[in-house]
Structure 1
Amino acid sequence: MENKELQALMEMVSERYFRKPFRHQARFNARLKTTGGRYLLASHDIEMNPHYLKVFGKVELIEIMKHELCHYHLHLEKRGYKHRDADFRKLLEEVGAPRFCKPLEAAVRLHEYTCEDCSTHFMRKRRMNPDRYRCGKCGGRIRYRRQREVMQRDVN
Structure 2
Amino acid sequence: MNSVELFANMIMKEACRVQASDLHIVPRQKDVAIQLRIGKDLITKRCIEKEFGEKLVSHFKFLASMDIGERRKPQNGSLYLQIDGSEVYLRLSTLPTVYQESLVIRLHLQASVQPLSHLSLFPSTAEKLLSFLKHSHGLLVFTGPTEQVNKKDVKRIASF
Q: Which TM-score applies when normalising by structure 1?
A: 0.25
Higher strand share: 2
Greater Rg over alpha carbons, structure: 1
| Larger relative contact order, structure 1 or 2 (CA cutoff 8 Å, min sep 6) | 2
